[in-house]
């Protein structure tokens, strides 16, 4: 059993079996629908979230994790005699990473490391998975952080959304570009650059999008035989299965990590989002 406790946040999408296997703690961001507040994955499941999202006239908002919430969990884990590696979703997308840093500084403990992945969803999950495997192998905190730093900027995100409405309303994409794309039935393919969403490519109509995503992955990722490929979806099982088949057939990765996109990322990307992640 590792003496390193890995903690992450709900901007990071991971399969439940991996979270359970490595005893990873997930700190929930808050999802706000009007006057109602829910802790992501605690008070609100993914299924409940997407149902509420489809019925809501206004887009929900997200609120970062507070320093006091991190202090509480950090103190508990330190009290158990463990070291802490807190791995967060992109600091450009939320103040959650900064809250974790404030908590670490206030506790003045050299047994806490806080790491900014500058990635989102299962892109950040690839860092968490790597750290968990290394901790299980008995690697120390310094070795793990060195490995994560070497991976920084090397985890690629390729994803598409069913509609640009959520990214547009959430201020994550230029409103004029989003409106034109929606009018022309253009299916955007997006990526994450320096922790923020950026357009990568586009196709006309939804049927060509998976082929294009695979083509881009081959160009950008080269070989996949020794890589973990993350695949995530937001309520689009059929598209997920099609993408999985293509990934197996065309990329032949060492491992596929399949996740559902949680409430925090789903707030900004919306239902029907389909994504893949891997190291370059």
**Phi, then psi, of 52 in degrees rounded to 5:** -65, -40
Question: Is 28 a residue whose pLDDT tops 60?
Answer: yes
pLDDT of residue 224: 97
Question: Is 251 a residue whose pLDDT tops 60?
Answer: yes
pLDDT band at 2 (very low <50, low <70, confident <90, very high): confident
How distant, in Å, are the alpha carbons of 166, 169, 174, 175 from that of 179? Answer: 12, 11, 9, 6
Instruction: For residue range 131-182, list pLDDT tens digits in order.
Output: 999 999 999 999 999 999 999 999 999 999 987 676 666 555 565 655 655 5
Instruction: Lay out the sheet containing 186-193: strands in order across.
Output: 196-204, 186-193, 155-160, 274-279, 228-233, 255-260
Helix (H) or strand (E) holding 102: helix 96-107
Domain regions of the chain by residue span: 4-29+64-151, 155-279
pLDDT of residue 172: 53
CB contact set of 222 (below 8 Å; sequence gap of 6+):
280
User: Average per-residue pLDDT in the chain?
Assistant: 92
pLDDT of residue 274: 96
CB contact set of 179 (below 8 Å; sequence gap of 6+):
168
pTM for the whole structure: 0.93
Q: Residues of the chain with pLDDT > 90: what percent?
A: 79
**Phi, then psi, of 34 in degrees rounded to 5:** 60, -115
pLDDT of residue 197: 84
Is 3.80.30.20 the CATH number for 155-279? no
User: Mean pLDDT over residues 120-139, rounded?
Assistant: 97
CATH of domain 4-29+64-151: 3.40.50.10170
Instruction: For residue range 29-61, list pLDDT tens digits in order.
Output: 999 999 999 999 999 999 999 999 988 888 899
Helix (H) or strand (E) holding 4: strand 4-9
pLDDT of residue 173: 58
What is the CA angle 226-133-68, rounded to 5? 130
- Residue labelled with tokens 């490519």: 201
Give the DSSP per-residue string, 36-87: EEEEBTTTB-HHHHHHHHHH-SS--EEEPPPHHHHHHHHHHHHHTT-EEEEE
pLDDT band at 88 (very low <50, low <70, confident <90, very high): very high
């Amino acid at each position: 059993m590792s003496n390193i406790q890995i903690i992450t946040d709900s901007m990071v999408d991971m399969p439940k079996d991996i979270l359970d296997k490595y005893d990873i703690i997930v700190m929930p961001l808050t999802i706000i629908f009007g006057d109602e507040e829910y802790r992501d994955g605690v008070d609100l499941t993914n299924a409940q979230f997407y149902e509420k999202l489809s019925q809501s006239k206004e887009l929900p908002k997200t609120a970062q994790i507070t320093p006091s919430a991190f202090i509480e969990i950090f103190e508990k884990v330190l009290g158990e005699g463990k070291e802490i590696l807190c791995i967060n979703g992109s600091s450009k997308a939320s103040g959650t990473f900064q809250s974790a840093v404030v908590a670490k500084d206030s506790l003045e403990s050299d047994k806490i490391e806080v790491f900014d992945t500058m990635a989102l969803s299962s892109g950040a999950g690839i860092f968490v998975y790597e750290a968990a495997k290394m901790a299980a192998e008995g690697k120390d905190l310094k070795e793990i952080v060195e490995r994560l730093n070497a991976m920084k900027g090397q985890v690629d995100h390729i994803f598409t959304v069913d509609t640009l409405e959520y990214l547009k309303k959430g201020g994550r994409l230029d409103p004029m570009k989003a409106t034109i794309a929606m009018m022309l039935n253009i299916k955007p393919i997006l990526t994450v650059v320096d922790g923020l969403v950026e357009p990568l490519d586009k196709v006309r109509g939804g049927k060509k999008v998976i082929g294009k995503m695979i083509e881009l992955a081959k160009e950008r990722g080269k070989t996949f035989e020794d890589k973990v490929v993350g695949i995530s979806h937001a309520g689009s099982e059929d598209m997920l299965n099609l993408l999985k088949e293509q990934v197996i057939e065309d990329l032949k990765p060492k491992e596929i990590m399949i996740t559902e996109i949680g409430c925090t990322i789903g707030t900004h990307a919306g239902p029907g989002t389909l994504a893949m992640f891997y190291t370059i």
